[in-house]
Amino acid sequence: MKKYLLLLAAVLFASVAVFAQNAADLITKANEDMKNRKYPEAFEKYDKAMKNLGDVKVEPAINFNIGYAAMQAGKNEEALVYLDKAIEADANVSKSWEYKAAIYNKTEDYKSALASFEKAIEKAIETSDGENIPENIPALVFNAGIVAFRLNEYQKTIDFFDKAIEVEFKAEDAYMRKAAAQKKMGDDEAYKNTLITANEKIPEDKKIAAALSNIYVGEANGIYKTTVDALNAANKKVNDGVWTLEDDAYKKEIAKTKTEFKKAVDLLGNAAKLDDTNENAKKLLEVCKGLL
């Protein structure tokens, strides 16, 4: 019986040793696959090794590598598991949250994506030197802004894109997205002011210029319609015999309409200057000029 137990122990020890050797070999091969960007192969080897480690000691940071390999291999659930293990082990925490956010964004779980981006930003700031902006912060705040917009969290959207603008990360796009959030909130004045600022800062950007041009056309069109109505009303009073063309009341009303048409002309001139392809601006400009 004693001989049997000794034999069994020897067999078990040998099995553990084999598992350990296999796990070590798999991890080595997986590391090589990672270098060659063979992510599906790397994840398969890593995952198999981690499930049969035996007495092999591995650094907690390996969970981050495995999570990244899984993410690149399209194995989202597995990636989240390993990235959570990396976070728990305090290994590449900010980056782990960033990759979790990317996975949630890809799977359209935008609420979880935004929460993950916010954690990634928080952890990046925590580990910074307090003087320099962590290098991954600009992209994080920009992407968080995109997700916040999808969730209709417009004030958060504005706050995130303000940070992106502050560090000059994709400023052109950040201004446009910030303006879009303000438009969604019904704050037309803030929407316009953001585009004015953006155009002043980045005058060469055609999208910003075109958006601002359209605002001016819209304002001019409103002035044009109101002023045409006033002009028609004044002429109707003349036709109805209430006024004559020489009455001061009529002349005063006509003078007002010319002042308003001049405002429209100025707006349309700015619109055409901002965007020389804006045909609406050009057409309305000629009409308003003809009424002066």
Ordered by start, the domain boundaries in the chain are 18-91, 93-202, 204-292
Q: Is the pLDDT of residue 3 over 50?
A: no
pLDDT at 20: 53
Q: And the tokens for 51? A: 């499930």
Of 55, 49, 59, give the one whose Cα is nearest residue 23.
Answer: 49
Which CATH architecture is the domain 204-292 placed in? Alpha Horseshoe (1.25)
pLDDT at 11: 36
The pTM (predicted TM-score) of the whole model is: 0.85
Instruction: Tell me yes or no: is domain 18-91 CATH 1.25.40.10.
Output: yes
When the candidates are 2.30.110.10, 1.25.40.10, 3.30.470.10, 3.30.930.10, the CATH number that belongs to 93-202 is 1.25.40.10
pLDDT tens for residues 132-164? 778 889 999 999 999 999 999 999 999 999 999
Q: What percent of the chain has pLDDT over 90?
A: 84
Q: What percent of the chain has pLDDT over 70?
A: 92
Q: And the tokens for 87? A: 């976070």
Q: What is the mean pLDDT of the chain?
A: 91
Establish whether domains 93-202 and 204-292 are of one fold: yes
d(CA 165, CA 45): 43
Q: How does residue 212 score in pLDDT terms, banded at 50, 70 and 90?
A: very high
Q: Is the pLDDT of residue 129 over 70?
A: yes
Residues 6 or more apart in contact with residue 99 via CB below 8 angstroms? 67, 68, 71, 79, 83
Q: How does residue 14 score in pLDDT terms, banded at 50, 70 and 90?
A: very low
Name the residue type at position 281: A
Q: Is the pLDDT of residue 5 over 90?
A: no
Q: And the tokens for 121? A: 């930003």
